[in-house]
Amino acid sequence: MTEINTPPEPPEAKTIEIPEKARTLPSGEREFMLDVSTSDLEVNMGPQHPATHGVMRILIRTDGEVVTGGQVHLGYLHRCAEKIGENVEWLQYLPYTDRYDYLSAMNNNLGYSLAVEAVMGVEIPRRATLLRTICAELNRIGSHLIAFGTYGLDIGAFTPFFYCFREREWMMALFEKICGARLTYSYIRIGGVFNDAPVGWLKEVERFCDVFEEKWQEYYDLLVVNHIFVQRTAKIGVITPEMAVDYGLTGPMLRGSGIDFDLRRDMPYMAYDEISKAGVYDVPLGRGEKGELGDCWDRVYVRVQEMMESIKIIRWCLGCIEDGPVIGDIPKVLKVPPGEAYVGIENPRGELGHYVASDGGKVAKRCRVRGPSFCNVAVLEKLLPGTFLADSVAIIGSTDVVIGETDR
């Protein structure tokens, strides 16, 4: 029988001892309030609080303005994605991957496709690999723009949010031109990509890179080094390197604590091995530049820097891409040979892993997803106690959690 997690018992009421001298007033009358008892107040953040970017509930216990405990409650967006993956055909499951993390759907398509391809042993055409890489990195930029803009919004900075949507809108227009969708794409398919880039698309991507490099400096000046923003995020929500490893954090959450680990470089897939060996991009790390290593500011800094590194990767792909097929020899009714595989990719939020097992049929025998946000939010119960209530929003926002991917 599955064990049901129950919320912890509230702490015992605290009694304020009133000194004997204070029990009587100068007039000789007794004090109005004697033996006052207090207890921590439980506050529900959610299940629709804007700082969570989805439907998640965090039960916060406070003593005045000081947070004494926090417990994350998930499941409000649970849609049985893994079980569906074991009841529909291989290609039919692809649209469900879009909906894990609706800010980085291209990367979700990619992770699932790579896992199925690993079981099949299929070869992916070179042009398809580079188109995949371009789309994955464009999607990383778009996801980080949302993380950056909404994080400023969470702590009271409205203007950066509108700046970020300006470039994100262009990115979504690029995706609309190549696959017809703006949010949930199903463009990266098992064996390659759905269709080739339209005429002029690659040139527009190059122009996007040129413009973005100029606009990126505006983001940095407007928010990252803003004095008020620094005061709200430096030395807040510090995740030590040891804590980051213990809690299984990945992506910017891990690198924000100074741990140099990136799946694209350390466990390469697609063209990333070639890109890493060419020294095309760097892996940004938190350094405690404005406060303390692993604080909220470091995590924001890593995401902002990663956008520029993605631009470098896209430029490299644009310089190497050649004409050719965009999908391998994949039958319409797909039967995957018996076998199993696990493939993890560097999603904008961390390691997104897919484990798939096949018995040779048209439907997966087992489909398991390792979501980065699901692991990243676990550290909140450690970070929240001892902080101020106003800082809890800054801490939660710095995790860049997407709830659809925690619940699946």
What is the per-residue pLDDT across 73-100, written as a single tens digit (0 to 9) for each? 888 888 888 899 999 999 999 999 988 8
- Tell whether the model's pLDDT for residue 72 goes beyond 80: yes
Per-residue pLDDT, averaged over 137-152, amounts to 91
Distances (CA, A) of 108 to 144, 146, 352, 389: 15, 17, 8, 34
Cα gap 253→267, rounded to integer Å: 18
Number of H helices and number of E strands within the chain?
A: 16, 10
Structural domain boundaries enclosing 236: 81-373+386-399
> DSSP string covering 224-251, please?
IT-HHHHHHHTTSS---HHHHHHTT--T
Computed over every residue of the chain, the mean pLDDT equals 86
Residue 405 domain-assigned? no
- Tell whether the model's pLDDT for residue 268 goes beyond 70: yes
Residue 31 domain-assigned? no
What's the confidence (pLDDT) of residue 51?
57
Residue 13 domain-assigned? no
Q: Hey, what are 315's tokens?
A: 């430029």
Residue 7 domain-assigned? no
- Tell whether the model's pLDDT for residue 109 goes beyond 50: yes
What's the confidence (pLDDT) of residue 299?
93
Q: What is the pTM of this model?
A: 0.86
On whether the CB atoms of residues 369 and 81 are closer than 8 A, the answer is: yes
Burial classification of residue 332, based on how many CB atoms lie within 10 Å of its CB (0-12 exposed, 13-18 middle, 19 or more buried): exposed
What's the confidence (pLDDT) of residue 348?
92
Burial classification of residue 228, based on how many CB atoms lie within 10 Å of its CB (0-12 exposed, 13-18 middle, 19 or more buried): exposed
What's the confidence (pLDDT) of residue 18?
47
CB atoms within 10 A of CB 320: 16
- Tell whether the model's pLDDT for residue 30 goes beyond 60: no
What's the confidence (pLDDT) of residue 9?
62
Residue 70 domain-assigned? no
In the chain, the percentage of residues whose pLDDT exceeds 90 is 49
Half-sphere exposure of 228 (CA within 13 A, CB side): 6
Among 11-20, 130-139, 362-371, 399-408, name the one with the lowest average pLDDT.
11-20
Under the banding of pLDDT at 50, 70 and 90, the label for residue 284 is: very high
- Tell whether the model's pLDDT for residue 327 goes beyond 50: yes
Identity (one letter) of the amino acid at 398? S
Cα gap 350→371, rounded to integer Å: 8
CATH of the domain at 224: 1.10.645.10
Q: How many domains does the chain have?
A: 1
Phi/psi of residue 158, nearest 5 degrees: -85, -40
Residue 330 domain-assigned? yes
Residue 45 domain-assigned? no
Residue 329 domain-assigned? yes
